[in-house]
Structure 1
């Protein structure tokens, strides 16, 4: 095994873990969350325990910090990374706020090793992490809902398309939610012709 393959083996994985509608949206235009179907069989405590860090945009952080109980608050300071041009670090000492340089920050964070990094939200952020070849996988909870409009899972504007390898698929009988886990395969990436 080569040095780069060995190093990659011990890197922390960045997974985009997100709820989406059947037609591919992570939020309607009003950014509400009432469309997300509840399912008591999902063990959110175990899910949160499987990640050391959270990375998200400001809008996702606004939604997360309003949750009761807030699953992020029991994480150590600096475990939550929010990409924002308007939040001020001194007003949010528990989180790390980045205005720029966040792609390189995520790259360094992955190299530290650990359980994992949860990319929580922002189709634009997911797109940038794909472009930088940092996103290792997508864990998608497909809701039995059609939103018809809103924010896409991954923003358009990518320079190509990406192959995903299905790793698992589970149907939650009580709610009809489909839980799909994919691995991003960069070695099979198709680049659009210019």
Structure 2
């Protein structure tokens, strides 16, 4: 069975964006993106680079982890604001929204139904793992379905902002096993946690 993987960048204090929800990696963003970070993504997670970055870096690797990406409406609209209708044309791209009625791109599938039911359907299909891109609202709704966390911690704190999971997520303590880790010289740390099989 395929796994749902929440692969997300976070600050040390657990935020994925500032309070306004703007793209922290955009032109006016505050997120550090050093060279070794970009190179690590290109080698280890090439399919998670947006198409524009793949072109700029001459990345053609298909990737071995994901063939599907899930995004919430707010997360997806960050790209729309700068004219990007599909940042991941090399993946099956699903956007969960009850307000968007027509997809801005033929390669983007809109899903207005229950996210949990849809993810369970996706897990039963054959293929590579499913990448939960975000944002916090969708991650909160899918909290019970996440099988693995890959958190890219930046050497950065915000004090406040949008957390990994929305404040509306259900209170449900879960134990996770650390299954991989990589520390870069620039200070970024990639931590992979798999949902623990023990209570």
TM range (shorter): 0.7 to 0.9
RMSD, aligned α-carbons: 2.1
Q: Is the 8 A contact 1:57 1:84 kept in 2?
A: yes
> Can you give the 5+ residue segments of structure 2 that lack an aligned partner in the other structure?
48-62
User: Take 2:160 and 2:131, find their aligned partners in 1: how far apart are those partners?
Assistant: 25
- Name the CA shift for 1:41/1:93 in 2 (closer, same or farther; >3 Å): closer
- Name the CA shift for 1:146/1:90 in 2 (closer, same or farther; >3 Å): closer
Report the equivalent of 2:72.
Answer: 57
Q: Is the 8 A contact 1:162 1:186 kept in 2?
A: no
Is 1:120 the counterpart of 2:133? The answer is: yes
CA distances 1:67-126 after superposition (whole Å, capped 9, x unpaired): 88x650233xxx111111221235433211112222111101111121110000122222
Q: 1:39-54 alignment to 2 at 5 Å?
A: 39-44=37-42, 47=45, 48=47, 49=63, 50-54=65-69
User: Take 1:31 and 1:167, find their aligned partners in 2: how far apart are those partners?
Assistant: 30
The CA deviation at 1:169 is 1.5
Q: What is the number of residues matched between the two proteins? A: 171
Q: 1:27-176 alignment to 2 at 5 Å?
A: 27-32=17-22, 33=24, 34-38=29-33, 39-44=37-42, 47=45, 48=47, 49=63, 50-64=65-79, 66=82, 71-75=87-91, 79-131=92-144, 134-156=145-167, 157-173=169-185, 175-176=186-187
User: Take 2:38 and 2:103, find their aligned partners in 1: how far apart are those partners?
Assistant: 37
2:123 match: secondary structure: helix
The CA deviation at 1:151 is 0.8
Q: Is the 8 A contact 2:103 2:110 kept in 1?
A: no
Q: Is the 8 A contact 1:35 1:145 kept in 2?
A: no
TM-score normalised by structure 1 residue count: 0.79
Runs (4+) of structure 1 exceeding 4 A deviation are: 64-68
Q: Is the 8 A contact 1:82 1:95 kept in 2?
A: yes
CA distances 1:20-69 after superposition (whole Å, capped 9, x unpaired): 0100001101223123221232233752122110011012112345488x
- Name the CA shift for 1:180/1:40 in 2 (closer, same or farther; >3 Å): same
